[in-house]
Structure 1
Amino acid sequence: MQEFIERRLYKRYVTVISVNRKDGSLVPIYIIWEDGTRYKIDQIIKIINAKASEVGGVGKMYQVRIGRHIRNLFYEKNRWFVESHKP
């Protein structure tokens, strides 16, 4: 029998390099991790006004593809965060 392990999610604030277009849209280009590693956002799959993420907070949710991985990137009150399994 496989044991169920609950994996709690945390808000992990990150640095994001983005472009603010003349039409007012905000486009994230890179996510920069705490250790300085830079991850290029290969594709923005969708942008929605999120009422709340699993870790709380409101704002815009950008579902992005980084390599083969899909992540939810949130823009909340002038800063960015991702949902992470590590605080």
Structure 2
Amino acid sequence: MVRGQGFRHGGDGHMRDVFTGECTARSVGPDHSRRAHKQYVDVMVMVTSSGEIRPFAVDWPDGRRFPIDEILKVSLPGPVLNGSSNQQYAVRFGRWETILYLERAIGHDRLESSRWWVWAFDSAEIKNPV
């Protein structure tokens, strides 16, 4: 991929596809040699009688299921940008900690839809890191 060929830099470390709105981000770290993308996943949740949402398993697109051992932190929902808001759930699977994002989108008919996503790292390395 050549910079400026269908992509623009968002100024926040993210590369955004101008035409489809999909987002690719570079990983944080000393080598910056891996890319990440939003991976939507199926999440098994329990909703308590008080309305609290508790995720307890993540189903990866290839069929693997990862049970959540602990919810470490739940953030407040973020601001609404481009019609959607994200809420972060810091979770632990065994020794692995990650962030699950609950994306709530409000449509034109004012109905809300929700879906979960995580940052998934691409297997290919970036050839010309910036």
User: What TM-score results when the alignment is normalised by the length of structure 1?
Assistant: 0.81
Unaligned regions of 5+ residues in structure 2, if any?
1-29, 105-113, 124-130
The match for 2:34 is 7
Distance 2:77 2:95 in 1: 23
1:83 and 2:110 correspond:
no
Consecutive unaligned residues in structure 1, runs of 5 or more = none
Q: 2: CA distance between counterparts of 1:25 and 1:50?
A: 13
Structure-2 residue corresponding to 1:49:
76
Q: Label 1:10 to 1:50 Cα distance change in 2 as closer, same or farther (>3 A).
A: farther
Structure 1 residue corresponding to 2:54, chosen from 27, 35, 38: 27
By how many angstroms is 1:5 displaced? 3.7
How many pairs does the alignment contain? 81
* Cα deviation 1:4-26 (Å, max 9, x = unaligned): 34322211000000001111111
Bigger CA radius of gyration? 2
Q: How many angstroms does 1:35 deviate by? A: 1.3
- Deviations 1:44-86 (CA, angstroms, capped at 9, x unpaired): 000002538xxxx732100000010001001102100011113
Alpha-carbon displacement from aligned partner over 1:26-48 (angstroms, at most 9, x marks no partner): 10010001111110000000000
Q: What RMSD over aligned residues (CA atoms) do the two structures have, in Å?
A: 2.2
> Are residues 1:39 and 2:55 paired?
no
1:67 maps to 2:103: no
Amino acid of the residue matched to residue 64 of structure 2?
Answer: T
Structure 2 length-normalised TM = 0.56
Tell me what 2:108 maps to: none
